[in-house]
Structure 1
Amino acid sequence: MSRLELKNLNKTFTPKVIPVKDISLAVEDGEVLSLLGPSGCGKSTILRMIAGLEQPTRGQVLIGDRDVTFKRPGDRNIAMVFQSYALYPHLNVRENLRAGLKLKKVPTDEIEKRITEVSGILGLDDLMQRKPGQLSGGQRQRVAVGRALVRRSDVFLLDEPLSNLDALLREHVRADLKQIFSVQKAPVVYVTHDQTEAMTLSTRVAVLNNGYLQQLDAPERIYDRPANQFVAGFVGSPQMNLLTLPCQGNYALLGDFKIRLPDLPTVPPQIVLGLRPEHLQLAETEAAATVKGGVFLVENLGMHNLVSIKVANAQSDPIILRTLLPPEHWSNRELAFTIPPNETHWFDVQSGDSLVRRS
């Protein structure tokens, strides 16, 4: 197997259109790296440059010890699964799995051996004689993944492979993919805008925005220790509360509640406080050290309600906090909360960078 490495990768279409800006990262054997970000952040362009479908303006693509930056896609020994299934409609499942290997002139007995192995992993044994039109969306996607796996490539690339599936089917196929990735050892690069896919499937996540790499880390660190305000707001559902608050002395002011600031070289006039909805805690008593507010919106999420609260006595424009509560707690129109100090995130108002680096 081979390590994948990108060195200072850049893609420029016009002086004003630069979808990828000096991206450097590596994907080790057996690692699943998700490229996560909103539409237009550059993730698919990076994947296409790895595949050889786009040429970089600057930088290198290395697979193992080979520089493949300007090699043709067929000379890179990669396998790619597209957003569309891209199956041959006139061929059955077995023939679709076999097609790429026949073009590479792999011996027949080796082809059958690989198909048998992959079919067992993906649960395709009972579908071998069916054509794509006779398969469900999830089955077709498994065949598309199988066609990539039989090639035993140095690198696997997946470009939003679940986006065409409905929510329930997406959950099932996502579980299938996680099992598949765990048994193969080649580097996997998975492009998605769906944070659930990225967090559940990945060894590491690269969060991208506007062509720049915002943070490259393990999923749990992306969630618990966001490097900046963009990562904090993009990763997490419901979205993190991000509040711009005035500072007074060593405190940030949230309504009548003072929140002690972290140790900073200088105290800014304003600061951005990040609080995940699940970390706000209902106050057990009406103590002074609580955030109080009125409920004005309740969204039923099943096990929890997402409750929006307008903070009382806010110093500026209305401040809205969202929190997750069991259904029995939201009936009160006025609520009081405490904020656990170890669950706060602090960001610079101008740069958006985190002001506290957690270990």
Structure 2
Amino acid sequence: MAILKLHSLRKQFAPNVIPVKDISLTVDDGEFLTLLGPSGCGKSTLLRLIAGLEEPTSGEVIVGENNLTRTPPGDRNMAMVFQSYALYPHMTVAENIATSLKIRKTPKEEIQQRVGAVTDTLGLSHLGDRKPGQLSGGQRQRVALARALVRKPEVFLLDEPLSNLDALLREQVREELKQLFEAQQKPVVYVTHDQTEAMTLSSKVAILLDGLVQQLDPPGRIYTHPANKFVAGFVGSPQMNLLSLECKGDRAILGDFSIPLPSFSVFPSAIDMGIRPEDLSIATEEDKITVEGNVFLVENFGRELLASVKVNGSKDTLRILVSPDREWGKEAIKLAFNRDRIHWFDAKTGDRH
């Protein structure tokens, strides 16, 4: 079994350039961990630290019982798939896949057997004699994956491998990746800024910002219980409605309306509230938490519409998903809140209440 452990990893390039500040996490056999965050959050640097392409300022990288912190990348038995595919243009598909085995002086018969097995798995058997320039983007990505799989590494590292593919092909390859790595049962660390990839592929997601892990949880929990205001706003499409509200007693004030707060030992004077567009609905007489406003924008998402509503008595806007079965214009509307799906965040720290 190979378990990847990171202990207090830190990388500092200059006094004020610290892309990875203090990260500790564990990736078990068969776990698919995605590092998700905006550009510059430290996710690619962290992946390079795991691979040995960067040396940490402090901290440790451990696989199984072996401390690999100072081990050269070629001796770590990790396979990395890059965004750019990094295929040798003068070599055939089969030669590209076999490169790492030849470097390790693997017997010729074993190379043929392992290359044959992985090309069968990825549907590349009929392309073995072609060169990268004769392949589509999806085929080249499969060759890059095959080159990683054929090594039988202890850990797989993937750095935005789908970003060069068009949307339709990205969806197809994403499905293949999920099935492929479920069968491998090895630790996988995957870097992306695409939340759809993170939510669909991962068993765990680490949300990064400014070199720190903001939340490490299964995708479902990150969506339903974001640890702070940043995670709440970063994960989810359409984005969560996030409002900064004043409080009066046990209620938060939203324009001409008020929303009951959860139980606090001391009620705050201000609070940040979040609610996803799908957790708002058109109000009925039975609904208890409601606000009124006017629709000023409707965006068509195909199976549903996203309506933007200016709340009466406020500059704040709420966005709600509505049915495309009727025409929506600039009209008055009454919205109801699902009380169990309201998220509350500290106005100063942004942490979840």
* TM-score band, normalised by shorter chain: over 0.9
Report the TM-score, using the length of structure 2 for normalisation: 0.97
Aligned to 1:111, the other structure's residue is in SS state: helix
Please name the residue that 2:325 is paired with: 328
Task: Show the counterpart of 2:115.
Answer: 115
* Gap change, CA 1:288 and 1:23, over 3 Å in 2: closer
Counterpart for residue 240 of structure 1: 240
Structure 1 residue 130: Cα displacement: 1.3
Counterpart CA distance in 2 for 1:329 and 1:286 is 23
1:352 aligns with 2:350: yes
Residue correspondences, number: 352
For 2:91 and 2:26, the matched residues in 1 are separated by 37
Cα distance in 1 between the residues matched to 2:325 and 2:185: 48
Conserved? CA contact 1:233–1:239, under 8 Å: yes
Establish whether residue 52 from structure 1 lines up as the match of residue 65 from structure 2. no
Deviations 1:223-252 (A, max 9, x none): 000000000000001110000111111111
Contact 2:93 2:143 in 1 (8 A): yes
- Provide the C-alpha distance between the structure 2 equivalents of 1:72 and 1:289, rounded to a whole number of angstroms: 59
Does the aligned pair in 2 maintain the 1:286–1:336 contact within 8 Å?
A: no
Mapping for residues 37-186 of structure 1, pairs under 5 Å: 37-186=37-186
| Alignment TM-score, normalising by the size of structure 1 | 0.96
1:261 corresponds to which residue? Answer: 261
Q: Is the 8 A contact 2:289 2:339 kept in 1?
A: no
Percentage identity across paired residues of the two chains: 60
How far apart, CA to CA, are the structure 1 residues paired with 2:263 and 2:21? 33
Which segment drifts farther, 193-202 or 124-133? 124-133
Report how far residue 287 of structure 1 moved: 7.2
Query: Deviations 1:308-347 (Å, cap 9, x if unpaired)?
Result: 1100122xxx001111111135615111111011010000
* Equivalent position amino acid for 1:321 in 2: L
Question: What are the ranges of 5 or more consecutive residues in structure 2 without an aligned counterpart?
Answer: none
Q: Deviations over 1:90-110 (max 9, x none)?
A: 111111111111111112222
Take 1:187 and 1:222, find their aligned partners in 2: how far apart are those partners? 20
Q: Distance in 2 between matches of 1:183 and 1:245?
A: 48
SS at match of 1:328: coil
Preserved contact between residue 273 and residue 344 of structure 1 (Cα < 8 Å): yes
Q: Spell out, residue by residue over 1:119-162, the C-alpha distance to the aligned partner (whole angstroms, 9 max, x if none).
A: 12211122112111111101100110110000000110000001
CA distance in 2, matches of 1:277, 1:84: 36
Deviation of 1:262 (Å): 0.9
Q: Which amino acid aligns with 2:328?
A: S
> 1:286/1:256 Cα in 2 relative to 1: closer, same or farther (>3 Å)?
farther
Distance verdict in 2 for CA 1:287–1:330, change over 3 Å: farther
* Counterpart code for 1:38: P
**Structure 1 residue 255: deviation in Å?**
2.5
C-alpha distance in 2, partners of 1:142/1:176?
Answer: 10
Counterpart code for 2:135? L
Amino acid at match of 1:115: V
Gaps in structure 1 of 5+ consecutive residues: none
Shift of 1:78: 0.6
Amino acid paired to 2:105 = K
| Alpha-carbon distance between aligned partners in 2 of 1:335 and 1:43, rounded to the nearest angstrom | 42
One-letter identity of the residue aligned with 1:113: Q
Q: 2:288 touches 2:336 (CA, 8 Å); kept in 1?
A: no
CA deviation profile, 1:241-274 (whole Å, cap 9, x unmatched): 0001111111112233321111112111111111
8 A Cα contact 1:346 1:354, kept in partner? yes
Mapped to 1, the partners of 2:310 and 2:352 lie a distance apart of 26
Amino acid aligned to 1:168: L
SS at match of 1:95: helix
CA-based RMSD? 1.3
Determine the structure 1 residue equivalent to 2:316. Answer: 319
Structure 1 residue 298, shift from structure 2 partner: 1.0
Question: Distance in 1 between the 2:277 and 2:197 partners?
Answer: 21
Whole-angstrom CA distance in 2 between matches of 1:35 and 1:330? 41
